Structure 1
Amino acid sequence: MKRKIALTLVTLGLVALTACNTVQGAGRDIESVGRKGKEVIN
């Protein structure tokens, strides 16, 4: 029983870390598109 709980907590932690990295990467991509758009306009 304790092993299942520990495994569940570790899995949830890894999923949370992955989600944060994905959101952070998406933010960088959006910034990059904004910069390129600004360069094209100028």
Structure 2
Amino acid sequence: MMNKLLTLMLLIAISGLFGCNTMEGAGKDLQSGGDALSETARDVKKDL
């Protein structure tokens, strides 16, 4: 019983770490997209 509980706790901890890294990566991707959009908008505004 103790081994199952320990295994479950370990799996939950590892899942949490992977989840955080995944969300961090998604956040960076969204930020990069936003930066590119902002730069394009500045270029268009400058050309007007």
1:21 is the counterpart of 2:34: no
Quote the sequence identity (%): 31
User: How many aligned positions are there?
Assistant: 42
Which runs of 5 or more structure 2 residues have no equivalent in the other structure? 43-48
Give the secondary structure class of the aligned counterpart of 1:38. helix
Matching residue's letter, 1:22: T
Greater Rg, structure 1 or structure 2? 2
RMSD of Structure 2 on Structure 1 (CA): 0.6
**TM-score normalised according to structure 1 size:** 0.90
